[in-house]
Amino acid sequence: MKKFLTILMLTFSAFAFADAPKTGAEFDAVAQTISTDNPAKIEVMEIFWYGCPHCYHMEAPLNAWVKKLPSDVYFKRVPGLPNASWAPMAKAFYAMETLSVSEKLHAKLFEAVNKTKTLNPTDEKAAIEWVTAQSGLDKVKVEQAFKSFTINTNLNRAAQIFRTSGATGVPSLIIDGKFITSSTMSGGNAEALKVADYIIDNVRKDKATQTTKAPAAKKQ
């Protein structure tokens, strides 16, 4: 895998131009390759935290960018979980998915933490109360979602992704499970999305090359 990544990095260099993002600066290889949901397409994964103001300000440009992604690229979010204090918001994210209220509450949760500052992102009890009030669902149902086995499984996966990505902060973008960029690395939110576009373009070219070189199946 390291050999593959080295070759791909060299491929990126081959397509370089004067202002092209540079590996080890605006983006880098992840610490360990992360499996994607659909290997036939290019995955863009945002690692974020509701308690992060930079993530909050990334929402508008990111959502606009996601709407314009080509058909061979798909987007997903994973809550960052570098330590236990981030767990309440990670639980809220997955609980809202389980309860089918993510579309309704995702942006509102960001605003409650960062704009109106009516919710402490490290307080799980407060998060349960907030989701209950905003969703109109029964509190027992919300509590069960927060404490379910599925949520714990997702939390373990989120923590593993944060470690293996090599992320040092959020928001971070993981491209095809192999490369990472962030607002900090690239110099801003808009810049991070431009770097992501650059990586996507080169990953697409590499996938096309790999397909071309793949040996034809032997006839029986």
For range 130-145, the mean pLDDT: 98
> In the chain, count of helices (H) and strands (E)?
9, 5
Split at pLDDT 50, 70, 90, the class of 220 is low
Composition of the chain by helix, strand, coil, percent to 5: 55, 10, 35
Structural domains present in the chain: 45-206 (3.40.30.10)
Split at pLDDT 50, 70, 90, the class of 219 is low
- CA 122/CA 185 separation, integer angstroms: 26
DSSP letter assigned to residue 18: T
Split at pLDDT 50, 70, 90, the class of 168 is very high
- Residue 212, pLDDT score: 72
Full DSSP string of 106-174: HHHHHHHHHTS--S-TT-HHHHHHHHHHHH---HHHHHHHHT-HHHHHHHHHHHHHHHHHT--SSSEEE
- Residue 210, pLDDT score: 82
Structural tokens at position 146: 């927060």
Full DSSP string of 42-62: EEEEEEE-TT-HHHHHHHHHH
pLDDT digits (tens, 9 = 90+) for 10-50: 455 444 444 789 999 999 999 999 999 999 999 999 999 99
Percent residues over pLDDT 90 in the chain: 85
Under 8 Å between Cβ of 40 and 71: no
pTM of the full structure: 0.88
pLDDT digits (tens, 9 = 90+) for 73-118: 999 999 999 999 999 999 999 999 999 999 999 999 999 999 999 9
DSSP letter assigned to residue 181: E
